[in-house]
Structure 1
Amino acid sequence: MDEVEVVVAHSERATLRVGDMFLKVDADPARIDFEVEAMSLAPVPTPEVLWRKPCVLATAALPGTTLGRLGGPSTGSPAAWAAAGAAIRKLHDAPLPSRQGQAGRSTAALAAELDDECASLVTNGVLPADLVTRNRQVAEAALRPWTPSFTHGDLQIEHVFVDGDEITGIIDWSEAGQGDALYDLATFTLGHEEHLEDVIAGYGADVDLDVIRAWWSLRSLLIVRWLAEHGFDPFAPGCEVDVLRSRM
């Protein structure tokens, strides 16, 4: 090992790869504590915890590769996407953790946050008004009653590892907790709508596709400005702004 790879870094936390070990540095030590707890409770493969100290968590690298990345091609087969759907269903059916997760915000609080963010996007010229208005309409379908599930809370495809058609592990449980199961499914398929059918086939339950699409719009609206302010590019091909444009 002769280098340290910065996997992701922003003002709240950073993840580094050092050889076969990942180091997560988090400004909130309580989030590290719950991440370890969530991984111990999740009935799906998770990274081995090597050691932990206040604000730092060390985990072993997982075998295999990710299913792809937002804005890039999928490297996984339809069977791998279906296997991911089955793993997500297993997580959602597990006993609830104690904490309210990222996917568990109340509909009232979420609607208020969404309206404020939409106004900011338009006022500051980040996105065109018609794009924001249309996606705010689409997002309304996600603002409905839901039954709490054990959710990952940030289930991007970069967080799911596969070896062939087998799931070898799911990483980054900082936002896990009680939440809306369809938020996880939407996050996982964001920007890869072509694999939604495979995921649902593996998930093995009736899913409201309008709510999935609503979460695509809602999540993208809420995160565009944050991404731009933290050195990421939501305007890159296939990323959040393209997801919003696809609803027009």
Structure 2
Amino acid sequence: MHRNSYSLAALAAAAVPGMVPARTMPIATPAEDLDVAGILGEDGRRVMVLSPASTAAGVRLERDLKVADALTGTSLRGVIPPVLGFVKLTEGGRCAVTEAPVGRPLMLEDLSGSEALARSLGQVLARIHTVPRYAAEAAGVESFTSQVLHAEHRARVAALTEAGHLPAAVAQRWQALLEDEELWDFTPQFVHGDLSEESLFLSGDQVSAVRDWSSSKVADAASDLAWLISSLDPDRFDALCAAYREELPTSAHPRLMERAQALGEFAVAEWLAHGLEVEDPEIVADARGMIADLDADLAQLARDEAERTYEEMSAREDDRA
């Protein structure tokens, strides 16, 4: 069942000894069945309450907290708010209360306006991707090989192509990417798995907190970068990547960013496949619109390449004359 901010404040008071709520503030979450609120206590303490509204949400919350707990012994401990207490819910499951993340939710506009913030996010991403295997295993996350992940992308693109859902240029581009074996020859790493504006907080020009670890796994590091490469302007993304590489203890995969670009495009294929599966016309239309935009971009690139080739040929003809 869903709970409003006042009910969540009461849960916070029950979970944290001495907590007397004075004010509440709703906090956005990517999950519709998870109620979240920030609570300010009379003594100035700030906490966050997370209450699942369904059994599935309860399972995700428990997974999130288990991963977060395992990460408190790593270099990420400074961006993971500690758990302060739990309360059993009458309908089953439990709600959790954590320290409130320092700062405020991060917006893409913040990254676009601050190179320092982009670099901070790059550093945090590098720390995520270098979480030791023992910590990932302690968290009980799933682990995938590069071969399995590659095969999943192949199968999805092949199914959409065979069903006639992809323009020829898009299908050819994606097939060429998937046939590039070197691009997909990588070592899986720990990843957040669902990074978004809702999962990040900032304070000044620094990423101050990362939450919602329920989708974490050992998989492709490029998956945590894909949404950023398609959302940030090139200069900001380059700054993020530079900080990311500097923070890594070893060299990144030489084609990591190229694979992130590919995954950003494949996310559209996944969105279309999901829309077709659940028979949601709005999702299907949205995905097809994005695919049409990519098709138009590829057509423009082909025209630009043809013009450059023509100009080079003309220049060579002039030189011979």
TM value normalised by structure 1: 0.73
Whether the 8 Å contact between 2:194 and 2:224 is mirrored in structure 1 is yes
Task: Describe the superposition over 1:95-126 as per-residue Cα deviations: whole angstroms up to 9, x where unpaired.
Answer: 1211454xx53333333332332244345565
Q: Alignment partner of 1:175: what SS?
A: coil
Deviation, structure 1 residue 23 = 2.5
Deviation, structure 1 residue 167 = 1.1
Aligned length: 239
Task: Describe the superposition over 1:110-154 as per-residue Cα deviations: whole angstroms up to 9, x where unpaired.
Answer: 333323322443455654343233234335558623223222122
Where in structure 1 are there 5+ consecutive unaligned residues?
none
Letter in 2 for 1:82: R
Mean CA deviation greater in 209-218 or 55-64: 55-64
Q: State the partner residue of 2:50.
A: 23
2:67 to 23, 38, 41: 38
- Percent identity at matched positions? 22
User: Partners of 2:209 and 2:124 in 1: how far apart?
Assistant: 10
Q: State the partner residue of 1:201.
A: 242
Indicate how the Cα distance of structure 1 residues 167 and 147 shifts in structure 2: closer, same or farther if over 3 A, else same. Answer: same
Whether the 8 Å contact between 2:144 and 2:219 is mirrored in structure 1 is yes
Q: Alignment partner of 1:147: what SS?
A: coil
Indicate how the Cα distance of structure 1 residues 139 and 50 shifts in structure 2: closer, same or farther if over 3 A, else same. Answer: farther
Q: State the partner residue of 2:199.
A: 159
Indicate how the Cα distance of structure 1 residues 225 and 55 shifts in structure 2: closer, same or farther if over 3 A, else same. Answer: farther
Whether the 8 Å contact between 1:150 and 1:179 is mirrored in structure 2 is yes
Deviation, structure 1 residue 170 = 0.8
Once the two structures are superposed, the pairs formed by residues 1-248 of structure 1 within 5 Å of their partners are: 1=5, 7-9=29-31, 14-20=33-39, 21-23=48-50, 25=52, 27=56, 31-42=60-71, 43-44=75-76, 45-52=79-86, 54=93, 57-62=96-101, 63-68=103-108, 74=111, 76-96=113-133, 97-98=136-137, 99-101=140-142, 104-122=143-161, 126-141=165-180, 144-192=184-232, 194=234, 195-203=236-244, 204=246, 206-207=251-252, 208=255, 209-226=257-274, 229=278, 241=291, 244-245=294-295, 248=298
Mean CA deviation greater in 77-86 or 35-44: 35-44
Task: Describe the superposition over 1:162-195 as per-residue Cα deviations: whole angstroms up to 9, x where unpaired.
Answer: 1221111011101113223232223443432523
Using CA pairs under 8 Å that are at least 6 residues apart, name the structure with larger relative contact order, 1 or 2.
1
The answer to which structure has the higher helix fraction is: 2
User: Partners of 1:59 and 1:127 in 2: how far apart?
Assistant: 45
Whether the 8 Å contact between 2:107 and 2:197 is mirrored in structure 1 is yes
Deviation, structure 1 residue 159 = 2.0
Indicate how the Cα distance of structure 1 residues 245 and 154 shifts in structure 2: closer, same or farther if over 3 A, else same. Answer: farther
Would you identify which runs of 4 or more consecutive aligned residues in structure 1 move more than 6 Å?
A: 2-6
Indicate how the Cα distance of structure 1 residues 175 and 76 shifts in structure 2: closer, same or farther if over 3 A, else same. Answer: farther
User: Partners of 2:240 and 2:66 in 1: how far apart?
Assistant: 26
Whether the 8 Å contact between 1:27 and 1:55 is mirrored in structure 2 is no
User: Partners of 1:212 and 1:134 in 2: how far apart?
Assistant: 15
User: Partners of 1:60 and 1:245 in 2: how far apart?
Assistant: 46
Deviation, structure 1 residue 79 = 0.9
Where in structure 2 are there 5+ consecutive unaligned residues?
7-24, 40-47, 299-321
Deviation, structure 1 residue 81 = 0.8
